[in-house]
Amino acid sequence: MTYRILLDLDNQLFTAVDVNNSNHFGNGTTIEKAIANLKQAA
């Protein structure tokens, strides 16, 4: 799975978004948690 990482500076949250389907994403307080949540959502 290919993904990109976004950082919300206001809420201090990372978001991992699937580059092939932007409807699949995961949020987390660390990059690792965001990626894990993305993989669970997919």
Q: How far is CA 42 from the centre of its chain?
A: 11
Which tens digit of pLDDT belongs to each residue from 13-41? 999 999 999 999 999 999 999 999 999 98
Is the confidence at residue 42, as pLDDT, over 80? Answer: no
User: Residue 24 gets which letter from DSSP?
Assistant: -
3 state DSSP class of 13: strand
Q: What is the pTM of this model?
A: 0.89
The answer to whether the CB of 14 falls within 8 A of the CB of 27 is yes
pLDDT score, position 1: 87
Question: In the chain, where does DSSP find H-type helix?
Answer: 31-41
